[in-house]
A and B are shown apart, each in its own frame.
Chain A
Amino acid sequence: VEGRPGCPSCKMPPLEPNAEKAFLVEVAKQQILQKLNLKERPNITHPVPRVAVTNALRRLHMGKGRPDGAGRFSSWESPETDKQGYEIISFAETEPSGLLQFQLTHPKGQDMHVLEAQLWLHLKAHQNITLQIYLAGDRRVALGEQKLGSKGSGWHPFSLMPALQSFFEHEEKTLRLELECQGCPSSAAVWLTSAGSSYQPFLVVKAKVQEPGHQVTKR
């Protein structure tokens, strides 16, 4: 634009305000996509009900069952390393058989080291029960079990590690979990709050990027 001073550092002539805005918006888009290892912005074909998202975030925020009791959806600058970390909430699709199915995504080109995986279920009021969780498949794998005393309806976190570690090491995308409840009425629909409502079961995975070829050593 005539008459307005150009860029003092690079002497580039001044841009029209609209051109400057368009330029900066484009730079912002490229920066964010690049840092998230995305070629383009994701197209959300099955949006999750906002109430389910808010419920899950509130659950994590209240810190129920968080090992560190920090009670927040913590920001992730882990002190030992400045490696980028991820916390992933995946919402279950409940199959007619009662199986819970999760579509997990591996950030492209990045090895992930999973630190924590928790399944959150909203259970109806119950007496003394034992809930068992399996990795579904030809040969199902026991992931853990938890005894629960008699309680009103509410959310319960179930840790799936370290049993689930091997699943994350393969770039599988679909995780199918089978639930069995001893001491409950036979069908899951009676003791598990239905997935279609705002109490959709969800899985929280805490992982961090691992250098390619990085070996995790046991201390």
Chain B
Amino acid sequence: SLSCDQNSEVCCRKDYYVDFRDIGWNDWIFKPEGYQINYCMGECPVHLAGTPGIAASFHTTVFNLVKANNIRTAGRSCCVPTQRRALSLLYFDPNSNLIKTDIPDMVVDACGCS
């Protein structure tokens, strides 16, 4: 997956990190110290449609059928997350109990056209 830079127009992953200390959340969130809130942005031109995202998504068979039968596709593919991982949080609840949980699909690791 491409990481976005100043000039990229193509589908890429834009990295952004929110430090809990900066937003005053470090008193109730014990670990981690911040949240990597990446997101996907960019164009998915036709020649890129399906790269690399489709390979990782469940549309593969449909897309292959479309290609095999020369069906003209209307519309374009979109730049979406193709790989995500959980965010493990250790935080205090209002009763000062320490709670550990894994929130699935919270961190975007890769983007692609799908």
A47 x B96 contact (CB < 8 A): yes
Q: Which residues of A contact B28 (CB under 8 A)?
A: 41-42, 44
State the B residues within 8 Å of A (CB): 9-11, 16, 18, 22-23, 25, 27-28, 30, 35, 37, 41-43, 78-79, 86-104, 106
Q: Which residues of B contact A87 (CB under 8 A)?
A: 99-101
Q: Is the interface of A mostly helix, strand, loop or mixed?
A: loop
Tell yes or no: A9 within 8 A of B by CB: yes
Q: Which residues of A contact B106 (CB under 8 A)?
A: 31-32, 35
Q: Which residues of A contact B87 (CB under 8 A)?
A: 32
B92 x A9 contact (CB < 8 A): no
Q: Is the interface of B mostly helix, strand, loop or mixed?
A: strand
Specify the chain B residue showing the minimal Cβ separation from A7: B41
Q: Given contacts A8-B9, A35-B103, A75-B102, are A43 and B94 in contact (CB under 8 A)?
A: yes
Could you list 9 further interchain pairs (A-B, Cβ under 8 angstroms) beyond the known A42-B28, A48-B92, A86-B100? A24-B16, A32-B35, A32-B103, A44-B94, A47-B92, A56-B98, A73-B90, A75-B102, A89-B98
How long is the Cα–Cα vector from A24 to B42 in the complex, in angstroms?
A: 17
Contact with A104, one of B16, B35, B88, B95 (Cβ below 8 angstroms): B95
Contact with B101, one of A47, A56, A76 (Cβ below 8 angstroms): A76
Specify the chain A residue showing the minimal Cβ separation from B34: A28
How many Å from the CB of A169 to the closest CB on chain B? 19
Q: Which residues of B contact A5 (CB under 8 A)?
A: 9
Q: Given contacts A8-B9, A8-B41, A56-B98, are A84 and B93 in contact (CB under 8 A)?
A: no
